[in-house]
């Protein structure tokens, strides 16, 4: 996830045009043109919303039987919602905050006070004083760095950078456990520049600030209402994309085909790689697609009959399989409560490969061990993004020497096809980034 110097221009081109009365014709031409948007995640929904506001005919083509993509709220029981995908809305995420306001959606604070359970015991963790001082110096130096200096930093991984700057063993372990939850993989695989961007330029709580009341899918619902469900083709897996002088053609696994003037493709790179492209994608783009990895994250939701943890904003970083536990149903009115286990990398894959009964037993054991209790999970639901059919990961992880080399290539339009999605966003790895790129691609077509 990366905070860059995002040009705050996304709000400037929005019109206040009423949304009713636009053509429902899938591929019909109007004065502005017809656009196919591939994917009904936040990038696709934001793109379609903006295009429709500006008078285009838009059809969204979505593989799943639901909209929202990696934003996936689940009602675990009456009055209790959990997020199987994106959890936090960041305090610096201006566009998503503006959209929530525009659509009348309220946010609640979703911050946590965390402790640590490491080497078999629980403690209030703090870094050594000399490291804290050194780290603050590194962060403030980063804020002054030129683009060239940042590119130099990008040649190191985050683990190596911390080691080279003298972090000691125990502090390094905590950094590994905590920071890897931000990137979804070990900090040994994350660019030092990406990590610095994240920690030097984010809100004080690292963009883990709010959530939408009722679940983040409320924003999906609001988008869908504005776009019109009739303009979204669910359960249509794109398998072929052709373009020529006539425009573009998209064919789906179920045999249906759509033609239009232009495409906005918001699919994750794995999905892009599974499509037959005619003509073929440029070799540089194919290489970039093959180079980018996505994080393996398993979100496990553990419903308990009571909130036996001491406080509503409870969170614990651990060296257990479940890794990071937090009380995701804080401020939701019920006797029961849900602890989320957020597990990454190899741990997530291990949890993902076992059967549900064993996974539940191990996670229950983690909770009872760290809280020295003997509670039973009443209901379990989890989602392993590392095996998601269309993404094969939670969000992109830029390793060393990738951000400045492959991201511009992934972003580049190809004929009448424009690209969007969190993986190419300045706010990479966030809902905000997905929205920004969707609106940016739409704006490229509008202007
Ligand atoms: C576990 C997890 C935790 C996260 N935590 C946060 C967080 O706390 N805060 C935050 O801001 N963000 C978070 N994110 C990231 C956030 O969810 C994403 O950045 C954002 O939702 C991505 O939107 P997108 O539109 O780029 O991609 P997607 O949401 O993936 O949308 C792409 C769409 O394309 C569809 N598709 C794929 N292949 C095809 C095909 N062949 N044909 C047709 N359709 C296809 C997919 O089904 C999907 O709906 C998290 C994500 C995950 C998974």
Provide the 3-class DSSP secondary structure of residue 264: strand
pTM of the model: 0.93
Closest ligand 1 atom, residue 207 Cα: 9
- In the reported structure, the alpha carbon of residue 401 is separated from the centroid of ligand 1 by a whole-number distance in angstroms of 24
Provide the 3-class DSSP secondary structure of residue 266: coil
Exposure of 49 in the CB half-sphere (CA atoms within 13 A)? 29
Number of Cβ within a 10 Å radius of residue 446: 17
- Indicate where the chain has its CATH 3.90.660.10 domain(s): 73-113+294-387
Ligand 1 pocket, mutate which of 97, 227, 267 (most atoms under 8 A from CB): 267
Q: How far apart are CA 27 and CA 204, in angstroms?
A: 46
Closest ligand 1 atom, residue 90 Cα: 11
For residue 299, report the phi and psi dihedrals to the nearest 5 degrees.
-100, 120
Beta bridge mates, 252:
238
Number of Cβ within a 10 Å radius of residue 66: 12
Read off the pLDDT of residues 386-427 as tens digits, 9 standing for 90 and up. Answer: 999 999 999 999 999 999 999 999 999 999 999 999 999 999
Q: Which CATH architecture has domain 73-113+294-387?
A: Alpha-Beta Complex (3.90)
Q: Which residue has the tokens 């409870």?
A: 314
Taking the alpha carbons at both ends of the chain, their separation in whole angstroms is 29
Task: Spell out which residues line ligand 1, taking CB within 6 angstroms.
Answer: 38-44, 61-64, 69-71, 85-88, 237-238, 266-268, 271, 297, 299, 385, 390-391, 394-395, 421-422, 429-434
Pick the residue whose CA is nearest to atom 15 on ligand 1. Answer: 430
Look at residue 25 in the predicted model and tell me its pLDDT: 32
Selected from 3.40.50.150, 3.30.360.10, 3.50.50.60, 3.20.20.70, the CATH number assigned to the domain covering 34-65+216-293+395-446 reads 3.50.50.60
Cβ neighbours of residue 137 closer than 8 Å, sequence gap 6 or more: none
Read off the pLDDT of residues 296-333 as tens digits, 9 standing for 90 and up. Answer: 999 999 999 999 999 999 999 999 999 999 999 999 99
Q: How far apart are CA 302 and CA 22, in angstroms?
A: 44
- Indicate where the chain has its CATH 3.50.50.60 domain(s): 34-65+216-293+395-446
Query: Minimal CA–CA distance to 318: which of 209, 168, 181?
Result: 181
- CA distances 280 to 186, 276, 388, Å, are 34, 8, 25
Look at residue 125 in the predicted model and tell me its pLDDT: 80
Exposure of 399 in the CB half-sphere (CA atoms within 13 A)? 10
* 10-residue mean pLDDT series, the chain (447 residues): 41 27 42 92 98 96 98 96 98 97 98 94 89 96 96 97 95 95 97 96 92 98 98 98 94 96 98 98 98 98 97 96 98 96 98 97 98 98 98 98 98 98 97 98 96
Pick the residue whose CA is nearest to atom 49 on ligand 1. Answer: 69
Look at residue 124 in the predicted model and tell me its pLDDT: 80
Cα diameter, the chain = 68
Structure tokens at 109: 């604070």
Pick the residue whose CA is nearest to atom 19 on ligand 1. Answer: 430
Provide the 3-class DSSP secondary structure of residue 36: strand
Closest ligand 1 atom, residue 433 Cα: 19
């Amino acid at each position: 996830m990366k905070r860059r110097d995002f040009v705050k221009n996304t709000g400037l081109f929005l019109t206040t045009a009423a949304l009713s009365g636009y053509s429902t014709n899938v591929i019909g031409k109007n004065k502005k043109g017809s656009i196919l948007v591939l994917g009904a995640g936040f990038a696709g929904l934001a793109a379609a919303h903006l295009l429709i506001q500006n008078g285009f005919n838009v059809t969204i083509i979505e593989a799943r039987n639901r909209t929202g993509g990696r934003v996936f709220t689940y009602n675990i029981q009456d009055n209790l919602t959990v997020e199987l995908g994106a959890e936090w809305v960041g305090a610096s995420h201006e566009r998503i905050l503006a959209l929530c306001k525009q659509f009348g959606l309220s946010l609640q604070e979703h911050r946590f006070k965390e402790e640590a359970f490491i080497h078999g015991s629980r403690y209030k963790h703090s870094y050594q004083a000399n490291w804290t001082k050194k780290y603050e110096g590194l962060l403030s130096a980063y804020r002054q760095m030129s683009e060239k200096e940042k590119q130099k930093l990008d040649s190191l991984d985050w683990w190596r950078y911390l080691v080279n700057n003298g972090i000691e063993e125990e502090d390094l372990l905590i950094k590994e456990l905590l920071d890897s939850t931000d990137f979804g993989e070990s900090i040994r695989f994350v660019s030092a520049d990406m990590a610095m961007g994240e920690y030097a330029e984010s809100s004080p709580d690292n963009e883990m600030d709010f959530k939408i009341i009722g679940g983040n899918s409320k924003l999906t619902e609001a988008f869908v209402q504005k776009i019109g469900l009739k303009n979204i083709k669910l359960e249509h897996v794109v398998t072929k994309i052709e373009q020529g002088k006539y425009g573009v053609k998209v064919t789906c696994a179920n045999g249906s085909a759509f033609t239009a003037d232009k495409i906005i493709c918001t699919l994750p790179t794995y999905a892009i790689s599974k499509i037959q492209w005619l003509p073929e994608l440029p070799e540089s783009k194919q290489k970039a697609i093959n180079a980018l990895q996505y994080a393996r994250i398993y979100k496990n939701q553990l419903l308990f009959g009571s909130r036996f943890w001491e406080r509503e904003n409870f969170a614990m970083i651990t060296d257990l399989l479940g890794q990071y536990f937090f009380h995701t149903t804080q401020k939701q009115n019920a006797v029961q409560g849900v602890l989320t286990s957020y597990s990454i990398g190899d741990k997530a894959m291990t949890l993902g490969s076992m059967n549900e009964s064993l996974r539940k037993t191990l996670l229950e054991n983690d909770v009872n061990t760290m809280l020295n209790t003997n509670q039973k999970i009443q209901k379990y639901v989890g989602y392993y993004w590392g095996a998601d059919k269309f993404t094969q990961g939670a969000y992109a992880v830029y390793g060393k020497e990738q951000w400045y080399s492959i991201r511009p290539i992934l972003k580049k339009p190809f004929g009448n096809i424009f690209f969007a999605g969190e993986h190419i966003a300045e706010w990479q790895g966030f809902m905000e980034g997905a929205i920004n790129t969707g609106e940016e691609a739409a704006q490229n077509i509008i202007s």
